[in-house]
Structure 1
Amino acid sequence: MEKVIEMKGITKVFPGTIANDDVNFELLRGETHVLLGENGAGKTTLMNVLYGLYQPEKGDICIKGEKVKIANPNDAIKRGIGMVHQHFMLVHNFTVAENIVLGAEPRKGLKLDINKAIEDVENIAKKYGFNIDPKAVIEDITVGQQQKVEILKALYRGAEILILDEPTAVLTPMEIEELGNIINNLKAEGKSVILITHKLKEVMSMSDRVTIIRRGKVTGIVKTEDTSIDELAELMVGRKVQLTVDKKPSNPGEEILIVENLQAKDGRGLPAVNGVNLKVKRGEILGIAGVDGNGQTELIEVLTGLRKAESGKITLKDKDIFNKSSKEIIDSGVGHIPEDRQKRGLILKYSLYENSILGTHHKAPFSKNKVLDYKKIREYAKRIIKEFDVRTPSDEVPASALSGGNQQKLIVAREISKDPDLLIASQPTRGVDVGAIEFIHKRLVEERDSQKAVLLVSFELDEILALSDRIAVMYDGQVVGVLDRKDADEQKLGILMAGGSLNKLEEEVIKDEQ
């Protein structure tokens, strides 16, 4: 088959790190090729080189056999390369059609020919099997629809090669399936697709070949049909990985956290948490599923004292913690693994030993008469660093020097070592590799087994299904359903996550059975 892209010996260096180290990559016409690797492995950097956002220190790029220099994204677009970034680049108060033609508008005289733009968008959407309204305003459509707009934007500019960076990170299961169909339609038209991801399940279902990158180097190139999830995980991390969560049935006890009719606003003053009711018991993991932006972040911020609620009631072990300070909530027995480790979890310029006692720094044995006991602090830090396998040269290095996965492990170590009655884990494995995921999952289950209450928030449905004993689904600021794990599956959760009702699904199942 024809090679549409060849990258030979690409080396890209940033201060203090070699992001790509003599990397070779090739893409064939009409294939979906996955770039797989742990966080920070160099996947996105390599594609940013191909798209002209970075210039390599050395190496060559050939398009259809011709050696080229791609100086900037405009060069890449002219050569038929389109890139959909992880964070979309859309004008939110423009329509779908206006966003797609932006910068390449059809004109009638000096004016934008909006009718021609809408017609062009309808034609290209129909050609590739996209179901989208060209007149809809971006801020009024779902994240999955916004992603389609980004893909159509690239296709409208003549992209033959499409790079999708972490395309499934914010999609519902149904939208992921739809994306798979879109990719197949693109391939049928002779287009080539590069997916950047670390989600092994989607690699297996969406790709023809996989190039695995570890620490800036290629560790393997395999045909998807000749490999397995276990083999890919091993190539990605460099050792065998336990991918399934090993846990016995839960043994729930008393209710530790009770949330009643909670109301809270977001940063713009709009309702974000809209009458939430929740109960978390000792000895269980309650998972909260939902697409990003449905009030999960604001709910956790209220529960941890980072945001004031408008009204409602929050009780922890019969104690009222509604609108209390973060210090009071921590002292009441709450541990918190925040969704943004760098903004909320660590002080990056502080040492690991200083970060290891955040939240308990005012208590014995770390503090006496408001004076810190650094001998005790460092003994403690060294112990939890060893216990939680935080990879670091010493406890003295700043938190900023650690990889994302090791920063996350330090936070998990600190919060679990507080011995909380309630552990709130928000996106506990976001952006970490499968090795760190395996470790963090094991520790969360151990907390449950030692009769702690665990509240887990994750946008990864696989993680919710693997860890939870009960699953609450949030949509539009409300809990729209709570299912026992044994009754939950991807289809049911996907319907609830999209704002649908399980009653219709049950009616369809009954009809099918009749």
Structure 2
Amino acid sequence: MSSSDNDVYLLEAKNITKKFGEFTANDNVSIGLVAGEIHALLGENGAGKSTLVKMMYGSLQPTSGELFWNGKKVNIKNPAMARDLGVGMVFQHFSLFESLNVVENISLAIPEEKNLATLAKKIAKVSSEYGLPLEPYAVVADLSVGERQRIEIVRCLLQEPKLLIMDEPTAVLTPQEADQLFVTLRKLSSEGVAILYISHRLEEVRQLCHDATILRHGEVVDNVDPAKETAQSLAQLMVGSAVHQIEVRENKNLGEVLLKTQNLNIKGLGTQ
């Protein structure tokens, strides 16, 4: 947690535990998120990251522990309550209808906006303002994975979130798309939006995030400034032991060639 003792966290989780039967997914987890901060949540697969953010978003309920919003205790019973508070979440797996266009998909999350033409103008404005170009009337089935992610992000931004949770956002992006996403996130951060950022790409975490909380086996093991760490040291915190680099073997003579083809022609495939 990077807030000083005199500051109030935008969202604070205190001693959160979540059990599924005998399995403990989160064990006494505490984390505080500050307005305008990009905060990384790191850990191996199965460390408890997704479980924790789902409780922040109201998709799951904690077994014990407390959540505070601007210093006041809250019980986030469902995602609708989370959105009303100002929490938006972009999931790793998109929830879009491929047969519908962009504006139709976004309208499902904003039922109070009945006029699709008005909503389309808002989409165009927000997507342009934040460097997330979208054609409001494009059919989702015709869009790339990166463009589909933009729909999810713009859908959140139209609801003016105070906290945006991003779950592995660059996993599906090209390097160029990832760079543009970082520009967008830095702009949101400069406007006071808190961002909780889940990623396994540790170099981008070092470049982008102001703070990082590391989970291991469902417990918080450290809170660090990622810019002062290396990707190697972050990985070691995540797994709890030294991470060995994989050495690339030099080209070696592996022995006599047993089978070789040259100028092989297969009908319909051409020369191989």
Instruction: Give the TM-score normalised by the residue count of structure 1.
Output: 0.48
Where does residue 176 of structure 1 map in the other structure? 178
Where does residue 78 of structure 2 map in the other structure? 72
Instruction: Give runs of aligned pairs for residues 190-269 of structure 1, distance below 5 A.
Output: 190-249=192-251, 251=253
Once the two structures are superposed, residues 93-112 of structure 1 have per-residue CA deviations (whole angstroms, 9 ceiling, x without a partner) of 111122222242465xxxx4
| Alpha-carbon distance change, 256 to 34 in structure 1, aligned in 2, over 3 angstroms | farther
Q: In structure 1, the residue corresponding to 2:10 is in which secondary structure?
A: strand
CA distance in structure 1 between the partners assigned to 2:143 and 2:171 by the alignment:
17
Is contact 1:53-1:73 (8 Å) kept? yes
Where does residue 116 of structure 2 map in the other structure? 114
**CA shift at 1:15, angstroms?**
2.3
**CA shift at 1:203, angstroms?**
1.5
What one-letter code is carried by the residue in structure 2 that aligns with 1:99?
N
Once the two structures are superposed, residues 340-377 of structure 1 have per-residue CA deviations (whole angstroms, 9 ceiling, x without a partner) of xxxxxxxxxxxxxxxxxxxxxxxxxxxxxxxxxxxxxx
2:144 corresponds to 1:142 = yes
| Alpha-carbon distance change, 193 to 261 in structure 1, aligned in 2, over 3 angstroms | farther
Once the two structures are superposed, residues 481-510 of structure 1 have per-residue CA deviations (whole angstroms, 9 ceiling, x without a partner) of xxxxxxxxxxxxxxxxxxxxxxxxxxxxxx
**CA shift at 1:198, angstroms?**
2.0
Name the count of aligned residue pairs. Answer: 263
Is contact 1:98-1:117 (8 Å) kept? no
Q: In structure 2, the residue corresponding to 1:125 is in which secondary structure?
A: helix
Where does residue 164 of structure 2 map in the other structure? 162
Give the alignment's Cα RMSD to 1 decimal: 2.5
CA distance in structure 1 between the partners assigned to 2:116 and 2:144 by the alignment:
23
Q: Given the alignment, which residue of 12, 22, 31 partners 1:25?
A: 31
| Alpha-carbon distance change, 261 to 77 in structure 1, aligned in 2, over 3 angstroms | farther
| Alpha-carbon distance change, 181 to 254 in structure 1, aligned in 2, over 3 angstroms | farther
Is contact 2:56-2:76 (8 Å) kept? yes
Where does residue 104 of structure 1 map in the other structure? 110
Percent identity, aligned pairs only? 37
Q: In structure 2, the residue corresponding to 1:187 is in which secondary structure?
A: helix
Unaligned runs of 5+ in 1: 264-274, 279-514
Where does residue 7 of structure 1 map in the other structure? 13
- Rg larger in 1 or in 2? 1
Q: In structure 2, the residue corresponding to 1:146 is in which secondary structure?
A: helix
Q: In structure 2, the residue corresponding to 1:56 is in which secondary structure?
A: coil
**CA shift at 1:219, angstroms?**
0.8
Unaligned runs of 5+ in 2: none
Q: Given the alignment, which residue of 77, 88, 95 partners 1:89?
A: 95
Q: In structure 2, the residue corresponding to 1:22 is in which secondary structure?
A: strand
**CA shift at 1:60, angstroms?**
0.6
2:40 corresponds to 1:34 = yes
Once the two structures are superposed, residues 446-483 of structure 1 have per-residue CA deviations (whole angstroms, 9 ceiling, x without a partner) of xxxxxxxxxxxxxxxxxxxxxxxxxxxxxxxxxxxxxx
Is contact 2:165-2:197 (8 Å) kept? yes
| Alpha-carbon distance change, 205 to 106 in structure 1, aligned in 2, over 3 angstroms | same
What one-letter code is carried by the residue in structure 2 that aligns with 1:176?
A
Once the two structures are superposed, residues 409-450 of structure 1 have per-residue CA deviations (whole angstroms, 9 ceiling, x without a partner) of xxxxxxxxxxxxxxxxxxxxxxxxxxxxxxxxxxxxxxxxxx
CA distance in structure 2 between the partners assigned to 1:248 and 1:49 by the alignment:
48
**CA shift at 1:126, angstroms?**
2.4
| Alpha-carbon distance change, 22 to 92 in structure 1, aligned in 2, over 3 angstroms | same
Q: In structure 2, the residue corresponding to 1:55 is in which secondary structure?
A: coil
CA distance in structure 1 between the partners assigned to 2:186 and 2:194 by the alignment:
10
Is contact 1:5-1:62 (8 Å) kept? yes
Is contact 1:125-1:132 (8 Å) kept? yes
Instruction: Give the TM-score normalised by the residue count of structure 2.
Output: 0.88
Is contact 2:38-2:195 (8 Å) kept? yes
| Alpha-carbon distance change, 105 to 201 in structure 1, aligned in 2, over 3 angstroms | same
Once the two structures are superposed, residues 274-333 of structure 1 have per-residue CA deviations (whole angstroms, 9 ceiling, x without a partner) of x7998xxxxxxxxxxxxxxxxxxxxxxxxxxxxxxxxxxxxxxxxxxxxxxxxxxxxxxx
**CA shift at 1:131, angstroms?**
1.6
Q: In structure 1, the residue corresponding to 2:150 is in which secondary structure?
A: helix
What one-letter code is carried by the residue in structure 2 that aligns with 1:13?
K
2:64 corresponds to 1:58 = yes
Structure 1 range deviating more: 32-41 or 132-141:
132-141
**CA shift at 1:236, angstroms?**
0.5
| Alpha-carbon distance change, 9 to 86 in structure 1, aligned in 2, over 3 angstroms | same
